[in-house]
Structure 1
Amino acid sequence: MVNAFFGHLGEVVCMSGRNMTAADVRDADALIIRSVTKVNSALLAGSKVKFVGTCTIGVDHLDQTFLDANKIEWSSAPGCNANSVVEFVYAALCHLDINWLPLKFGIIGCGNVGGLLYKRLKAQGVDVRCYDPNLTPARNPDLTSLAEVLACDVISMHTPLVTTGAHPSFHLLGRDELQQLKNGTVLINCGRGPVINNQALLDVLSERKDLRVVLDVWEPEPDISLELLDKVLLGSPHIAGYSYDGKLNGTEMIYRSLCRYLDKKPQSSLEQLVPPLANNQLRIDGIEQPTTIFNIAKNLIKQIYDIAADDLRLRTLAAQALAGEVVFGEGFDGLRKHYPVRREFHNYQVHLENISYADKQWLQVLGFNCV
């Protein structure tokens, strides 16, 4: 797909993002990356690169000061995989059999991802509390303190990694904050790993068996704590935003940014390159009793996305690494690079019978096309 988008703009050379060196990019005019590539003076000093595009929403892997000082144009893809991450959160809750509807739901970071999750939860009638010091009540009437969010039943973290300024997010949750969590709290992090002090989390989970933790992001990556992986209920290799649709959205956004930079007219689009999904019809089959809207959602989501398979692949890799069969860090990157195709909910049509209009609307808020 990279060649399909960028091929008409020049020669495309693909290589490992984490192992990229200054010699690899010395003669490149543009650099297209994802979050595993650290872009700084060590990589780009002395190169011909004049454009850097990251097909991700986060930019903490870019040394923006260096890029700006050297007049290197750079672009990111804000919001490209927001829907994918939100669907990951719903899939995790369904897999853990946690009905979020009657619970108090906290969101830390309400930008593109957290903001989308917030809108969907509100549309489903959920009591939501949000912490984001960069927003105002005019933009989000449910803004509150971090302490109040930490008192919620479910907490989902979607903040970028910020290490400077008035509101740094690095180690936002340390031992003191984690100890504040009430009994049975569900804590999900699919933002940036270092926003939670992972050593503190390991220590707290060693003392408290009641907390239910889902981690898609870790500190550090790719050499994560296997002890911590063993203590979380669900672990995955930073793939919450890795739906097929989300990755392609990011690629298209950076492609269009590069075209603008080069003053070239775009010649490719997702509509041209990606045909409609075949075999996209879903029906409710063997639904749990009672037939609640939550049980229907669990049934449908599992048909599309088996999140337990992501967890199993990571734990299998950990077991192989502990046995000395593989290098864990390399395997972690491999799981991301060879991640199976996962399509988002909107690609599917759901055939429903004997369901209320309100329940159908509720499923459409999740993203399904109900017929």
Structure 2
Amino acid sequence: MKIVADENIPLVNEFFSRLGTVTCLPGRTLSSADVRDADALIVRSVTRVNEALLAGSNVKFVGTCTIGVDHLDQAYLSAQGIRWSSAPGCNANSVVEFVYAALSHLDINWLPVKFGIIGCGNVGGLLYKRLKAQGVDVRCYDPNLSPVQNPDLTTLEEVLACDVISMHTPLVVTGPYPSFHLLGHKELSQLKPDAVLINAGRGAVINNQALLEILNARPDLRVVLDVWEPEPDISLELLDKVLLGSPHIAGYSYDGKLNGTEIVYQALCKHIDTQPKASLAALVPPLENNQLRVDDENRTVFEIAQSLIKQVYDIVADDARLRETARKALAGEIKFGEGFDNLRKHYPKRREFHNYQVHLESVSEADKRWLQILGFRCV
């Protein structure tokens, strides 16, 4: 079996070479010539998989190691009898931790606020469950769900009236509930003073030009963008206006990417009717040097969480790297789009909270449980 894969997929050879010959190439520039002789194609979200890429090829299986599937032409794949698989939920925890890290850095205690979530699938649903378990007042908008599935469903207008709004919708351009430009000038104008808006779903769910116009008029708004319209050639003017910007890496924890690799590997094994012979448990050893300490005396649980999150995930470094890339592009030293992709390609290994053990001396059992909801293992 010949397998073509995005070179940025971790452990791609360790998993897929057991099934055939693997050729690794840059995902954004994959061409029809690259995949013509392939039997299977393994990608991430930067590769548009459609007739232009696959026509005349031998590809019978496409796997995307991501939650989102808007980069796959599903109608074409089905019409050609090409089986496809994604990795739903693989990096949901990573994105949720990105949201917590952003709020922590902005010194926004999410406990006393009214928190809005737009899109409550794998990612938004996990964030919702964590926030509810921590006692947060949450409002959700997702027209694809029923009140039985989520009792805190409400209107988009009510969610936009919250103190913090976190967006986790896929990009949908057709059907009864399209998400393309879900937030335009009208919706963004409804945000309350000093509101926090986070988008870690898909860039085009927010009209980026409208957002720039709103931010030019309302510097009180606090915006965090991990996704943009369009990528990789984003608006540098908009980047200059947001408090935190990153190159579509909210779901780029090492653990999340590994989960995606394993899920798609298992799907390909099922496709060719063979038993999986590789697993994360066998390939990835426990994290070394995973002990965390924090001065927990006379500190609130939120302050303790801020200290722990910063030790594990320095979100400011993501922002700084993107802004330095913008500086170099404006100086004519590099092309910004290439720099954006390089930040993703060479993203530092970020491990999730559950890999770390926290030694606490003075906190209550209730506070320990609160920190454990974040994911930390407390002793």
Confirm or deny a common fold (TM above 0.5).
yes
Q: TM-score, normalised by structure 2?
A: 0.97
Spell out, residue by residue over 1:77-131, the C-alpha distance to the aligned partner (whole angstroms, 9 max, x if none): 0000000000000000000000010000000000000000000000000000000
Residues of 2 paired with 1:255 and 1:124: CA distance? 35
Using structure 1 for the length normalisation, give the TM-score.
Answer: 0.99
Structure 2: runs of 5 or more not aligned: 1-10
Which residue of structure 1 aligns with residue 246 of structure 2?
Answer: 236
Q: For residue 16 of structure 1, what is the amino acid of its counterpart?
A: P
1:124 aligns with 2:134: yes
| Aligned equivalent of 1:2, options 8, 12, 21 | 12
* Counterpart residue identity of residue 14, structure 2: A
Partner of 2:3: none
Q: Distance in 1 between matches of 2:89 and 2:107?
A: 28
Q: What is the percent sequence identity of the aligned residues?
A: 77
Describe the SS at the equivalent of 1:14. Answer: strand
Amino acid at match of 2:327: A
CA displacement 1:26-82 (0-9 Å, x = unmatched): 000000000000000000000000000000000000000000000000000000000
> Matches of 1:184 and 1:312 in 2, distance apart?
23
Question: Where does structure 1 differ by over 6 angstroms across 4 or more consecutive aligned residues?
Answer: none
Q: How does 1:1-371 map to 2 (within 5 A)?
A: 1-285=11-295, 291-371=299-379
Structure 1 residue identity aligned to 2:19? L
- CA distance in structure 1 between the partners assigned to 2:140 and 2:125 by the alignment: 9
- The separation in 2 between residues aligned to 1:369 and 1:139, in whole angstroms, is 29
Measured against aligned partners, the alpha-carbon deviations of 1:207-263 in whole angstroms (never above 9, x if no partner) come to 001000000000000000000000000000000000000000000000000000011
- Give the Cα–Cα distance (whole angstroms) in 1 for the partners of residues 214 and 254 of structure 2: 35
Q: Secondary structure at the match of 1:339?
A: coil
Output the amino acid matched with 1:4: E
Structure 1 residue identity aligned to 2:245: G
| Aligned-pair CA distance for 1:290 | 5.3
Q: Which runs of 5+ in 1 are unaligned?
A: none
Equivalent-residue separation in structure 2 for 1:120 and 1:290 (angstroms): 25
Q: Distance in 2 between matches of 1:273 and 1:333?
A: 27
The residue type equivalent to 2:356 in the other structure is: Y
Q: Give the letter aligned to residue 15 of structure 2.
A: F
CA separation in 2, counterparts of 1:93 and 1:31? 37
For the residues of structure 2 that align with 1:333 and 1:73, how far apart are their CA atoms?
Answer: 28
